[in-house]
Amino acid sequence: MRAVIQRVTSASVTVGTEVVGKIAKGLCVLVGITNDDDEKDVDWMVKKITTLRLFDDEAGKSWAKSVKDLDLEVLSVSQFTLYALANKGSKPDFHLAAKADISKDMYHGFLEKLGKAHKPDKIQDGRFGAMMDVHINNDGPVTIILDSKQKQ
């Protein structure tokens, strides 16, 4: 499981003309699922997303607080393209990304666990499988890449 985490001042997802997810300050998380991901990968990713200290504390100390510590929002967006291979040729290869029927259930389980680890009302998401416009106002900019298969 891969995630690109961006600290944001705001973020939103639009499908067509409908805003389907929108947050103020918090994290925008682009999530990719691969063929051999399981519940352990989901659990690890949820813990990392909710506890990573990417925010300043009240005194201005950098890297001191997590999204959970500050009761901030999370916008999650499913993104199979995180598993694209583009080493050969000019067309990306997506065979490492889990097929939609598998990844959809895992992604929704991920969202449920994210809500339980933080607060359900603080979690927003896009629309799985839809063509989405994602608007991200990166704060910093701060962008962190996580891969559950590369944890140590």
- Cβ 96 vs Cβ 37: under 8 Å: no
pLDDT tens per residue across span 42-92: 999 999 999 999 999 999 999 999 999 999 999 999 999 999 999 999 999
Nearest to 138 by CA among 29, 1, 11: 11
Choose, from 6, 50, 55, 80, the residue flagged as catalytic: 80
Active-site residue flag, 81: yes
Instruction: Give the pLDDT band (50/70/90) at residue 151.
Output: confident
Cα of first residue to Cα of last residue in the chain, in angstroms, is: 14
State which amino acid sits at residue 50.
Answer: T
User: Quick check: is 80 catalytic?
Assistant: yes
pLDDT for res 152: 66
- Mean pLDDT, all residues of the chain: 97
What the block records as the tokens of 8 is 């944001």
Residue of 34, 50, 79, 124 marked catalytic: 79
Of 108, 82, 80, 76, nearest to 11 by C-alpha is: 76
Q: Is 79 a catalytic residue?
A: yes
Catalytic residue from among 81, 94, 124, 143: 81
- The pTM for the full model equals 0.95
Residue corresponding to tokens 């690890």: 44
Determine the residue type at 114.
Answer: L
CATH number of 2-142: 3.50.80.10
* Among 3, 12, 6, CA closest to 126: 12
CB atoms within 10 A of CB 22: 14
What does the pLDDT read at residue 35? Answer: 95
